[in-house]
Structure 1
Amino acid sequence: MFSKSAGINILSLARFFLFGARDVWFVVALPVFLQQALGWRFWEVGGFMGLWVIGYGIVQGSAPALRRSWGQSAPPGVKAVEFWSGSLTAIPALIAIALWREAAHPGIAVVVGLAAFGLVFAMNSSIHSYMILAYTEAEDVSLNVGFYYMANAAGRLVGTVLSGALFLVGGLQACLWASALLVALAFAVSTRLPMPPRQLSTQATDGSRA
Structure 2
Amino acid sequence: MTDWRGYGAVTGAYWAFMLTDGALRMLVLLHFHRLGFSPLTLAWLFLLYEVAGIVTNLVAGWLAARFGLAATLIAGLALQIAALVALTQLDPEWAMAASVGFVMLVQGASGVAKDLTKTTSKSAVKMLIPAGQGARLYTWVAALTGSKNAVKGMGFFLGAALLGWIGFVPALWSMAAGLALVLLAIIVFLPSGLTARVKGARFSQVFSRDPRINGLSLARLFLFAARDVWFVVALPIWLAGYLATGMEAERAFFLTGGFMALWIVFYGGVQAFAPRLGQGTPGRALAWVCGLALVSGALALIALRGAEASTLTLGGLLVFGAVFAVNSALHSFLILDFAGPDRVTMDVGFYYMANAGGRLLGTALSGLTYQLGGLPLALATSAVLAAASALAIARLCKPLQG
Give 1:14 shift: 0.4
> Contact 2:283–2:397 (CA<8 Å) still a contact in 1?
no
Residue 145, structure 1, aligned to residue 356, structure 2: no
How far apart are residue 107 of structure 1 and its match?
1.8
| Stretches of structure 1 lacking an aligned partner (at least 5 in a row) | 196-210
From 295, 298, 318, give the equivalent of 1:91: 295
Q: Residues 86 and 184 of structure 1 are in contact (CA less than 8 Å); yes or no, is this contact kept in structure 2? A: yes
* Letter paired with 1:111: L
Q: Which has the larger radius of gyration?
A: 2
The amino acid that maps onto 2:335 is I
Provide the residue aligned with 2:360 in structure 1: 157
Contact in 2 for aligned 1:7/1:194 (Cα 8 Å): no
TM-score (normalizing by structure 1): 0.84
8 Å contact 2:300–2:379 — kept in the other structure?
A: yes
In structure 2, do the counterparts of structure 1 residues 91 and 38 end up closer, same or farther at CA, with 3 Å as the change threshold? farther
Cα deviation 1:89-117 (Å, max 9, x = unaligned): 01111011112256x93321221111100
* Partner of residue 383 from structure 2, selected from 165, 176, 180: 180
The residue type equivalent to 1:28 in the other structure is: V
1:126 Cα shift? 0.2
Q: Identify which of 23, 32, 36 aligns with 2:237.
A: 32
Distance 2:261 2:337 in 1: 31
Q: Check conservation: 1:136, 1:144, Cα contact below 8 A.
A: yes
Taking every aligned residue pair, what percent have the same amino acid on both sides?
Answer: 45
* 2:339 alignment partner, SS class: coil
In structure 2, C-alpha distance between the alignment counterparts of 1:167 and 1:14, rounded to whole Å: 24
**Alpha-carbon displacement from aligned partner over 1:153-205 (angstroms, at most 9, x marks no partner):** 1111111111001111111111001100000000011111155xxxxxxxxxx
* Paired residue secondary structure (1:4): coil
Distance in 2, matches of 1:117 and 1:152, equals 18
* 1:80 matched residue in structure 2: 284
Match of 1:51 among 258, 262, 286: 262
Residue 303 of structure 2 contacts residue 375 of structure 2 at CA under 8 Å; is this kept in 1? no
Q: State whether residues 2 and 9 of structure 1, in contact with CA within 8 Å, keep that contact through their aligned partners in structure 2.
A: no
Aligned to 2:213: 8
TM-score scaled by length of structure 2: 0.45
Q: Distance in 1 between matches of 2:220 and 2:212?
A: 12
2:209 aligns to what SS in structure 1?
coil
Does structure 2 conserve the Cα–Cα contact (< 8 Å) formed by 1:14 and 1:186? yes
**Contact 2:294–2:383 (8 Å) recurs in 1:** yes
Q: Please give the alpha-carbon distance, in whole angstroms, between the structure 2 residues aligned to 1:173 and 1:109.
A: 13
SS in 1 for 2:392: helix
Q: Which amino acid aligns with 2:269?
A: I
**In the alignment, which residue of structure 2 is the partner of 1:199?**
none
Pair 1:108-2:308 in alignment: no
- Checking the alignment, whether the CA contact within 8 Å between 1:38 and 1:107 is kept in structure 2 is no
- Once the two structures are TM-superposed, the CA of residue 27 in structure 1 deviates from its matched residue by 0.8
Equivalent residues of 1:25, 1:163 under 8 A apart: yes
CA contact (8 A) 1:84 1:120 kept: yes
Q: Distance in 1 between matches of 2:335 and 2:287?
A: 17
CA–CA distance in 1 between the matches of 2:254 and 2:300?
A: 25
Q: Does 1:42 align with 2:237?
A: no
Cα distance between partner residues in 2 of 1:29 and 1:99: 12
Q: Does 2:378 match 1:171?
A: no
Counterpart secondary structure, 2:342: helix
CA distance in 1, matches of 2:327, 2:238: 26
Alignment of 1:128 with 2:331, yes or no, is yes
Residue of structure 2 equivalent to 1:198:
none
Distance in 1 between the 2:243 and 2:384 partners? 26
Report the RMSD for the aligned CA atoms in angstroms.
1.6
Deviates more, 1:44-53 or 1:32-41: 32-41
Partner residue of 1:190?
Answer: 393
